[in-house]
Copies of this chain bind each other. A is one copy, B any other.
């Protein structure tokens, strides 16, 4: 890393952006990334063939739709979607989450489409 890491206050970082469904990197860990995102509405069905994906809800309420059932997460709750498992996040209210996954993981996985965005670093 080119600079020494600093403490990350998640609430402060969440004030720095308002776009929905855009992942913002706040820390690196080896070849993994810690990212924040704000969600509202429904994403797209997709899967990640080569990695599990961790969702941790900071505020709001997130439903991770799976093919067989839904997983509902409130603040302080986390869930790992296993690699290869189709999922579609949906949030009725604006919801803030932390994501943890390998660097370079694409938000829409195998689905692509207009909601595909590369994660951006937050200062």
Binding site for B on A (CB under 8 A): 1, 4-11, 26-30, 32, 34, 51-54, 58, 71-73, 76-83, 100-102
For the complex formed by this chain, how many copies does it contain in all? 2
Question: Please, how many angstroms separate the alpha-carbon atoms of A51 and B28 in the complex?
Answer: 11
Q: How far is the CA of A12 from the CA of B45 in the complex (A)?
A: 30
Bound-complex Cα distance A1 to B101 (A): 17
Shortest beta-carbon distance, A53 to chain B, in Å? 8
Task: Name the prevailing secondary structure of the A interface residues.
Answer: strand
20 contacts between A and B (CB under 8 A): A4-B82, A5-B79, A6-B79, A7-B71, A7-B77, A7-B79, A8-B78, A8-B79, A9-B76, A10-B78, A26-B78, A27-B54, A29-B54, A29-B80, A29-B100, A29-B101, A30-B51, A30-B102, A34-B78, A34-B80
